[in-house]
Amino acid sequence: MSASAPEAQKRSSAPLARVMRPVNSLVERFIPSAFVFAVVLTFVVAVAALLLTDAGPVDVITGWGDGLAGLLAFMTQMALILLLGHTLANTGPVRKLLGRLGGVPRTVLQAYLFVFVVASLASLITWGLGLVVGVLLAKEVAAQGRERGLRLHFPMLVAAGYSGYVIWHMGYSASGPLTAATEGSFIAEQLGRTIPVGDTIFTWWNIAAAAATIVVVGIALALVAPREGEDVIELGFDARDDDADLDDEVVTPADRVDASRVVTLLVGLALTTYLGLHFANGGTLTLDIVNWTFLALILLLVRNTFELIALVKNAASNVGEILLQFPLYAGIMGIMATTGLITVFSDWVVSVANPTTFGVLAFLSAGVVNFFVPSGGGQFAVQSPVMLDAAARLGVDPSVAIMAISYGDQWTNMIQPFWALPVLAIASLKMRDILGYTMVTLIASGLVFATVLLLIGAGV
């Protein structure tokens, strides 16, 4: 059967959808916004500090207030990664590329797996790009597949695109590893040194884990894909977005400057030259360098300032909620640091873990923490001080702790709706439409992540 946008939000009669209905109900009815979670977590940490340390109410409030501004630079870096990734995905050349890629799959199964693999590769470039590319490509494949007579289950296409996001924290824009590699970051200050990305995202075992995750999740998605004769919800409307509205009327001399290709091109070339000199002189990959890379690409790809402004305005709507949360995460860090709560939590981790099991336990705990702190950067601000301290006391390489938190953060994004919401809005779907498939991604990827960390902990 086929469905229009409103009909696509109804429950599918596919077996997987029926099995997942209780989980769907739980997620949609009882998981509040990420901001509410940040507020609740603030009070939980404050109460824990009062109960588990010698700190009094004045100490907790002072530590919280002093800490609120502690992540302002980091907050800007995180916001730029999302803003620039979303902007890059919507530039004209990228949208044209997605249009061409939409015609590649020739069978139903190829369509699901192709969307997943492309979204995975885009997520390894930058998480903002991966999120948007996944859903835009799903819509292109659905539209072009419909024209060729393929009966494609649109919710699964969107789920396949979103599933690519499960490896974002193993790639070029990985918040935790890049923070650890950045001079003056809170991780570098705690460790007394930076950790280069060659010890984290570019290790052989992380690259192997990313490749294995793509293979294992791809197989899992193929196994649960709707079969011939099963009910599917096809794309029943033209879901391919138009280009961003451009206020490009040229009336004045100033308008002619804004409509010129020269301005953005010159800045893009200058920034590209700087990046080339940076790496030629032995510069390393940091959060700032990642952001300047994406900005350079955008400046080289947009037609003029009019288009750049329109794309940025469109992308900015996804950034506001993150900006609102980060001061609360910084306040939580302030409470833990000033009251000694970090040491208390670290003592508990050391008491239950050993060098072999530490990575897996850090990964599982990060998966839980991600429900409360869905931003990868925010989660590192809250959790990494504890895990890095515990790793040092157990004699575990800090790079293992950093990647274990990274794996846990990206893992439960598959059932935490925070990052799925902009994807679902673009696709005109609800969380319940894709959750059955992303739950499969959660299980399959979790097996890979846990196995890799256990092998690394055992010294394999």
Confirm whether 22 is domain-assigned: no
Q: Which residues pair with 234 in a beta bridge?
A: 2
Q: How high is the pLDDT of residue 17?
A: 53
In this predicted model, which residue has the larger pLDDT, 14 or 147?
147
Q: What is the pLDDT of residues 432-453, one digit of tens each?
A: 788 889 999 999 999 999 999 9
DSSP element (H, E) containing 357: none
Diameter over CA atoms, the chain: 71
Terminal C-alpha separation, the chain? 50
- What does the block give as tokens for 389? 């301290």
In a domain? residue 23: no
CA dihedral 126, 129, 132, 136 (to 10 degrees): -130
pLDDT of residue 449: 97
Query: The pTM is what?
Result: 0.79
**Confidence band (pLDDT; 50, 70, 90) for 11?**
very low
Report the percent of the chain where pLDDT is more than 70. Answer: 88
Residue 24 lies in a domain: no
> What does the pLDDT look like over 93-110, one tens digit per residue?
988 898 899 889 999 999
Domain membership of residue 399 as a residue range: 2-17+31-457
Alpha carbon separation from 228 to 12, 102, 107, 108, 109 (Å, rounded): 15, 22, 12, 10, 11
Would residue 25 count as lying in a domain?
Answer: no
Query: Dihedral angle at the C-alpha atoms of 413, 122, 157, 319, nearest 10 degrees?
Result: 50
Domain membership flag for residue 192: yes
Total number of domains constituting the chain: 1
Residue 379 falls within a domain, yes or no? yes
92 is written with which tokens?
């004209």
Is it the case that residue 330 has pLDDT exceeding 50?
yes
CA nearest neighbour of 410 among 238, 332, 402: 402
